[in-house]
């Protein structure tokens, strides 16, 4: 069961409290621009804009995973 839990957690571990949904993106928003915007809030582990599998066009939303250390 441990290996299955690791697969579900993914490459960045449990992102339940550190992964932010970003909606209302313009279709032409580049991933780098979204990353730059969120860097002022902390280290970015991942910034992803979701795109349509067939057209490759942005669906207008994405996710940003931040690296927060609990003290």
For residue 62, list its beta bridge partners: 22, 49
Per-residue pLDDT at 67:
86
- Stretch 35-44: mean pLDDT, rounded? 92
CB atoms < 10 A from the CB of 47, how many?
21
Cβ neighbors of 50 (< 8 A, separation 6 or more) are 58, 59, 61, 62, 63
- Assess whether pLDDT exceeds 60 at residue 15: no
DSSP secondary structure string for all residues of 37-52: HHGGGSEEEEEEEEE-
Residue ranges of domains in the chain, CATH in brackets:
2-67 (3.30.70.330)
Distance CA 67, CA 42 (A): 7
Instruction: Name the pTM for this structure.
Output: 0.72
Residue the block writes with tokens 């993106």: 25
């Amino acid at each position: 069961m441990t290996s299955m839990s690791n697969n579900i957690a993914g490459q960045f571990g449990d992102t339940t409290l550190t992964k932010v949904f970003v909606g209302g993106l313009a279709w032409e928003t580049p991933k780098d621009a979204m990353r730059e915007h969120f860097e002022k809030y902390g280290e970015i582990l991942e910034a992803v804009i979701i795109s349509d599998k067939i057209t490759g066009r942005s669906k207008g939303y994405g996710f940003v995973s931040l690296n927060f250390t609990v003290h």
